[in-house]
């Protein structure tokens, strides 16, 4: 069965879900209730017939940089981080399937007992058949993060947009947690996003890749209302980054 064409602005999306979304009320690790919450938001857009690939992070369990600070070799620590994303991927797969969303998980590190290997054309076919594809282990190589994996996969899977769902409702001119007068950008030109040192969105490598290959990026809060639904409809939420927009603050 092939998926119906959706009546939305974006037909195929790459959704980057940070590991922190899986923590829930805990301080560390995976809370299955939080995974279910993420899954329900994804189901909302799945039922709109949008094709969905998800890159899942691992920061709730292990980040390579933190491992290195504690004396682990950086590359080894990064592989540990990639394994963390596989655990999150399995938790998200479990939650999605529990609520009736068919999935396939593909991993950039070979792990045949738990996931298919990442094969680009197969991932596309899964989406065409109406399966949500969960992409674990980022790029499969160290010294980068899952943001780079998200940017890379968005391009090779020919997604219309990279959606970075976070805990903050967009990109601000300064850290909104530290500055009460921080203002949100409604639109942000990639050039400004890369040049302005105060703006923290994703790795510079990931941003540069999106800029060079014209892959728009949307940044918004995943858990706020029906933000994900609004995002796929193309409504004005969070921050939209692209080459063909002027940098403007939200009013």
Query: What residue ranges bind ligand UDP (CB under 6 A)?
Result: 18-20, 57-59, 63-64, 78, 81-82, 84-85, 138-139, 141-142, 144-149
Report, in Å, the least distance between residue 44 CB and ligand UDP.
21
> Of 81 and 216, which has the nearer Cβ to ligand UDP?
81
Judged by CB, which is closer to ligand UDP: 68, or 116?
68
Name which of 189 and 231 has its Cβ closer to ligand UDP: 231
Tokens in use for 66? 């933190």
Q: Shortest gap between Cβ of 152 and ligand UDP (angstroms)?
A: 8
Residue 146 beta carbon to ligand UDP: minimum distance, rounded to whole angstroms? 3
Shortest CB 74 distance to ligand UDP, Å: 8
Per-residue burial over 87-108, b if 16 or more Cβ lie within 10 Å, else e, is bbbbbbbebbeeeebebbbbbb
Q: How far apart are CA 10 and CA 152, in angstroms?
A: 18
Please say whether the beta carbons of 184 and 169 come within 8 A.
Answer: yes
We find the least distance from the C-beta atom of residue 36 to ligand UDP, in angstroms, to be: 18
Nearer to ligand UDP, 111 or 250 (CB): 111
Residue nearest to ligand UDP (CB): 57
Q: Number of C-alpha atoms within 13 angstroms, CB side, residue 233?
A: 10
Owner of token pair 């209730």: 33
Could you tell me the two tokens for 177?
A: 């947690």
Q: How far is the CB of 100 from ligand UDP (least distance, A)?
A: 26
Nearer CB in complex with ligand UDP: 64/238: 64
Instruction: Give the span between the Cα atoms of 28 and 71, in whole angstroms.
Output: 20
Element (H, E) at 70: none
* List of residues 6+ apart from 148 with CB closer than 8 A: 138, 139, 203, 205, 206, 209
The residue (of 33 and 69) whose beta carbon lies closer to ligand UDP is 69
Residue 22 phi, psi (nearest 5): -95, -5
Q: Do 198 and 173 touch, CB atoms closer than 8 A?
A: yes
């Amino acid at each position: 069965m092939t998926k119906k064409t959706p009546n939305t602005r974006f037909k195929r999306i790459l959704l980057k879900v940070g590991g922190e979304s899986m923590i829930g009320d805990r301080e560390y690790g995976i809370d299955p209730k939080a995974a279910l919450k993420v899954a329900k938001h994804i189901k909302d857009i799945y039922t709109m017939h949008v094709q969905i690939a998800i890159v899942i992070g691992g920061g709730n369990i292990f980040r390579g940089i933190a491992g290195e600070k504690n004396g682990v070799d950086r590359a080894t620590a990064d592989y540990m981080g990639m394994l963390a994303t596989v655990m999150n991927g399995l938790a998200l797969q479990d939650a999605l399937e529990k609520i009736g969303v068919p999935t396939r998980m593909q991993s950039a590190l070979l792990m045949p007992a738990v996931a298919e290997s990442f094969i680009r054309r197969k991932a596309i076919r899964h989406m065409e058949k109406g399966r949500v594809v969960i992409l674990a282990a980022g790029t499969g190589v160290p010294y980068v993060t899952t943001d780079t994996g998200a940017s890379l996969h968005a391009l090779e899977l020919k997604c219309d947009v990279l959606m970075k769902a976070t805990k903050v409702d967009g990109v601000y001119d300064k850290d909104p947690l530290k500055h009460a007068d921080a203002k949100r950008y409604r639109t942000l030109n990639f050039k400004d996003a890369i040049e302005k040192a105060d703006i923290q969105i994703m790795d510079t490598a990931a941003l540069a890749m999106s800029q060079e290959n014209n892959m728009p990026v949307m940044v918004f809060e995943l858990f706020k209302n029906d933000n994900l639904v609004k995002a796929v409809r193309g409504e004005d939420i969070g921050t939209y980054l692209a080459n063909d927009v002027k940098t403007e603050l939200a009013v």
